[in-house]
Structure 1
Amino acid sequence: MDLDFPVSFSVSDDEDAGAAATPPGRAICHTGCGRPSRVCLCPHLPPSPLHTSTTVVVLHHPHALRRNPLSTLPLLARCLANLHLLPGRRLRLSSTPLLPPPSPNPVLLLFPSPAATDLASWCRSTPPSARANTTLLLIDGTWNQAREMHAASLPFLSSFAVPVSLPVDSGVDGDSMFESELVVRKEPHKGCMSTMEAVARALRLLEPEGNGAGVEETMVSVLRAMVAFQAEHLQNRTVKPRVKMRKKKDIKWEEEMKRNAGLV
């Protein structure tokens, strides 16, 4: 059974998004952000988690925290009070009592899919009273993992969740951290973003009475600081070029072409 993951978890050493894997003996900010002290983000975090009328639920792949040093989930948990993290590969009725909600409040599945409506358009066409206390659902993992988790969860979600998305241009390559101050890793398409940035952009639209702008700016400033640490680390790091792996069929084809050309 997928259980509601507590947001007060402790970030392990290998979740250092501002440097490589944490070597033994490195000073860690255990009482705050959980990151190595030299890339501590505590000065950028809100004094206490922000309270929102929107309930944010994130289904994250079981490996998202243990094997992904650039996961934004630990920082997201320290920014939002009304956040629920669910480890698992799919959502079902037994996953959490939050879904489907006991009241008729809307559940928005934020995921780029052909069936998704632009979130800004949904907000404009939905009266504030009808979107009060919205539940925002996201899927976190690599893009391949997220697609699989989305497909596995649809049989359950399709009966009550409204698919929405933020603008993504699949015809244009995405930015890297050296081209954008908010990109954690190279994105596949223009407009793709980390889970933390997606939540920040969505809350700007969903939160009532203009509160969303302040929530967004606070979260974006934390993400901006994290990316700056990571970009600085990579710029100062000497990386050996990766040996390109070649398929046997390609090697065989090249040898055959050389033989036909009389080169071997």
Structure 2
Amino acid sequence: MDLEHEAFSDLCGLPTDPPDMRINCDQCQRPLKVCYCSSLPDPRLSPRSKIILLQHPAEEKRCLRTAPMLQLGLQPGKCLVFKGKRFPGLHDELISILQASNTLLLYPSPNSEPLNEIISETVPLSRYNIVIIDGTWPQAKAIYTSSPILHNIRQIKLLNNNTSDYIIRTQPADGCLSTLETGAQCLSMLEGDQTYVDKLLAPLKLMCQYQLENGAVSHQSKEFLIKNNSYPKLIGKRLNKVLKDAERLKEQQKS
């Protein structure tokens, strides 16, 4: 009985209220201690063109995403997000966007054209809808394959040799950029204004700084680690294919 009484007393001493939860920012939904809203463009940027994100559902579960930074850095309606694994899916309003003559799809196919070449052949500061598939490379490829409407859109590519500023996340290959960086680069080229990159990437750099100050480490790409015999795992078929696709993309960009 004494043991039962002691156990019951221990249970009675437990707090009845749930533990205090971290308070999140109403805007970026990040904990207040690591909120990046102070670095967002103020006022929000208002480009002539729009970014259209086709987001894989799994991307929303990631805690360190860059798509929200793009939305918060641009005026409402300048960055539209549609979620799904195939498109247009349930998004009826997306059909007219995907069928518009000024819509361009950022996708590394053999038919994709450098964005800077398209800009040079059109009226300066023309308005475009830039469609970006938001997800990992296998997810993006699956979305493209299962969405025939995307196959009819003029496809573009970025000729990029820069290293991603998203240094707390391992990229599959050198030259790969986050969704935010990709959108910022496109808008910067279309607007003829480098400040789009500078202002839109500021919250990403601040978030990475927060993470590095709290135990995160700077990451090199998987391609870099493998080339320098530093990758800690065996290379599986899936990663090997991703790296081959990345090499193929680089060759396309050179041509």
Indicate whether the TM-score tops 0.5.
yes
Q: Equivalent residue of 1:65, what SS?
A: helix
Query: How do residues 169-188 of structure 1 correspond to structure 2 at under 5 angstroms?
Result: 181-188=165-172
What is residue 110 of structure 2 aligned with on the other side?
114
Instruction: Confirm whether residue 158 of structure 1 aligns to residue 151 of structure 2.
Output: yes
Deviation (angstroms), 1:112:
2.2
| C-alpha distance in 1 between matches for 2:88 and 2:98 | 15
Moved more, 141-150 or 193-202: 141-150
Deviation (angstroms), 1:163:
0.5
* Paired letter, 1:76: L
Aligned with 1:59 (options 54, 60, 76): 54
Kindly tell me: are residues 31 and 79 of structure 1, through their superposed partners in 2, closer, same or farther at Cα, counting changes over 3 Å? same
What is residue 74 of structure 1 aligned with on the other side?
68
State the Cα deviation string for residues 6-50 of structure 1 (Å, max 9, x = none): xxxxxxxxxxxxxxxxxx635334333221122111210123432
What is residue 29 of structure 2 aligned with on the other side?
34
| C-alpha distance in 1 between matches for 2:45 and 2:20 | 33
* Count of residues in correspondence between the two structures: 203
Kindly tell me: are residues 37 and 49 of structure 1, through their superposed partners in 2, closer, same or farther at Cα, counting changes over 3 Å? same
Query: How do residues 1-264 of structure 1 correspond to structure 2 at under 5 angstroms?
Result: 25-66=20-61, 68-81=62-75, 82-92=78-88, 95-101=91-97, 105-128=101-124, 132-153=126-147, 155-159=148-152, 161-167=153-159, 181-207=165-191, 210=192, 212-235=193-216
State the Cα deviation string for residues 213-258 of structure 1 (Å, max 9, x = none): 222211011221122222333348xxxxxx979x9xxxxxxxxxxx
Spell out structure 1 runs of 4+ moving beyond 4 A: 102-105
Structure 2 stretches lacking a partner, 5+ long: 1-18, 218-231, 237-255
| C-alpha distance in 2 between matches for 1:218 and 1:186 | 23
CA-atom RMSD in angstroms = 3.1
* Paired letter, 1:157: L
Kindly tell me: are residues 27 and 166 of structure 1, through their superposed partners in 2, closer, same or farther at Cα, counting changes over 3 Å? same
Deviation (angstroms), 1:182:
3.5
2:104 and 2:154 in contact (8 A); partners too? yes
Deviation (angstroms), 1:95:
2.6
Structure 1 stretches lacking a partner, 5+ long: 1-23, 237-242, 248-264
Structure 2 length-normalised TM: 0.69
1:93 and 1:99 in contact (8 A); partners too? no
What is residue 258 of structure 1 aligned with on the other side?
none
Give the number of the structure whose residues are more often helix, by fraction.
Answer: 2
State the Cα deviation string for residues 26-80 of structure 1 (Å, max 9, x = none): 53343332211221112101234322211111000112112x1121122221111
